[in-house]
Amino acid sequence: MLRDMKSQASRRRVSAQKPYLTFGAPDIGKEEIGAVTSVLRSSWLGTGPKTHDFEHLVGKYTGAQAACALNSATAALHLSLVGLGIGAGDEVITTPLTFCASANAIIHAGATPVFVDVERDSMNIDPTKIEKAITKKTKAILPVHMAGRPCNMEAIKKLARKHKLFVIEDAAHALGASYKGKKIGSLSDATCFSFYVTKNIITGEGGMITTNDKQFADRVRILSLHGMSKDAWKRYSASGYSHYEVVVPGFKYNLTDLASAIGIEQMKKISRFNARRKKIWDIYSKAFKDLPVVLPAPIPADIEHARHLYTLLIDEKTTGLSRDAFMQALHERGVGSGVHFRPVHLHAYYREHFGYKEGDFPHAEYIGERTVSIPFSSALTDREVSRVIKAVREVIEEHHG
Ligand SMILES: *Cc1c(COP(=O)(O)O)cnc(C)c1O
């Protein structure tokens, strides 16, 4: 018993010196902790004034006319589609190199996802291949700003105008990114952000739709809370209780004030967070430039990359070990990593339901087999950055003959 306690204590000591590094650690300070505590003390935990303020901050930051807070980006994608009237019989074009939620949400809305391969370098949907995938049923293009790198929005918007399609951006990676001087979030019919625990800013779980269409924003707001015409916060206003009407069978996608309180503090720090990300990005790029791995593609001068993920491509032939073996070797050195992403079309449901198979989207598959995201977060200390570099270099130098 005593020995157990001792060994536990010594393990903790070791782990306190060398905590396991995850690929996307949240950056939480005493401000967030204080903000949550004060919401708990206020006794209004649900959607209310904090959520309203959080929406205002994200709206202002992105330059969008309206912002609707939701409890995830998945909910944001779903409600964007539903709110724009996309459903059964419709097709939505998206990328296979994304988190499953982008495509699942299309299915939730009753529509069919249609994949278009990515560009090898940018890892984003290839606009030159979109037109071939457009049919009479196509209603929207849903690009994903992979790793925080904005898609070619000019080309995508031009196609959308020509074919009268909506553009719904999955910007789960891209808060802080901009395209030709305009912040992601201000460019299209709907842009969906995520505040999941690994993203650039976090609320635990959370998401947001930004838009320039105020009527669409009103629809989203109603859909996000059961389809009720007035939310609870406004029903219990100074003027007394007022009844609500259910105008549509909506969903339960609202964000709580408890979560929004964290988001408000995170938004106050976003410039600092993204500057820190840029610094670590540059340190990694310099430290790895002589290694037999592929680093993120250079960033063109006319975009601001949100630098959400730092990815390496590990090719067994050139690097000397497989991506999965690389991840395991990092793990053994206390360094976590992630895969963003195994392409959606190769997951069981998509193969079985839509008949997708290997070879359908060669670039997405090439990346999906080789990509690895190493620890990358504004919360990383200089020492931790050095630990990651040391681990990556050691593993590769050991295997590369
Ligand atoms: C994280 C992520 C989502 C989902 O975000 P949630 O807030 O967890 O629902 C959607 N798309 C992409 C590309 C993501 O990385």
**pLDDT tens-digit map of 129-179:** 999 999 999 999 999 999 999 999 999 999 999 999 999 999 999 999 999
Closest Cα partner for 142 from 107, 175, 176?
A: 107
Write out pLDDT tens, residues 365-386.
999 999 999 999 999 999 999 9
Average pLDDT over residues 212-217: 97
Cα separation, 103 vs 89, in Å, equals 15
Q: Tell me: do 264 and 274 sit in the same domain.
A: no
Closest Cα partner for 120 from 142, 97, 154?
A: 97
Domain end, chosen from 251, 268, 285, is at 268
Phi/psi at 194 (5° precision): -120, 140
* Residue 196 in contact with ligand 1 by CB distance below 6 A: yes
The CATH number assigned to the domain holding 6 equals 3.90.1150.10
Q: Tell me: do 71 and 13 sit in the same domain.
A: no
| pLDDT of the residue at 2 | 45
Band of pLDDT at residue 7, cut at 50, 70 and 90:
very low
The CATH number assigned to the domain holding 54 equals 3.40.640.10
* Residue 71 in contact with ligand 1 by CB distance below 6 A: no
Q: Tell me: do 287 and 177 sit in the same domain.
A: no
**What domain range includes position 274?**
2-26+270-399
CA 122, 128, 132, 134 dihedral sign is: positive
Cα separation, 257 vs 204, in Å, equals 12
Q: Tell me: do 261 and 281 sit in the same domain.
A: no
Write out pLDDT tens, residues 31-45.
999 999 999 999 899
Of ligand 1's listed atoms, the one at least distance from the Cα of 77 is 10
Write out pLDDT tens, residues 290-329.
999 999 999 999 999 999 999 999 999 999 999 999 999 9
Please say whether the beta carbons of 310 and 277 come within 8 A. Answer: no
Of ligand 1's listed atoms, the one at least distance from the Cα of 205 is 7
Is residue 162 flagged as an active site residue?
no
**Count of the separate structural domains present in the chain:** 2
Q: Tell me: do 227 and 278 sit in the same domain.
A: no
* Residue 101 in contact with ligand 1 by CB distance below 6 A: yes
* Residue 99 in contact with ligand 1 by CB distance below 6 A: yes
Going from the Cα of 193 to the center of ligand 1, the distance in angstroms, rounded, reads: 8
Going from the Cα of 71 to the center of ligand 1, the distance in angstroms, rounded, reads: 11
Band of pLDDT at residue 236, cut at 50, 70 and 90:
low
Active-site residue, selected from the candidate residues 18, 182, 199, 234: 199
Residues of the chain above pLDDT 90, percent = 90
Domain end, chosen from 268, 289, 305, is at 268
* Residue 193 in contact with ligand 1 by CB distance below 6 A: no
Q: Tell me: do 138 and 209 sit in the same domain.
A: yes
Domain end, chosen from 247, 268, 289, is at 268
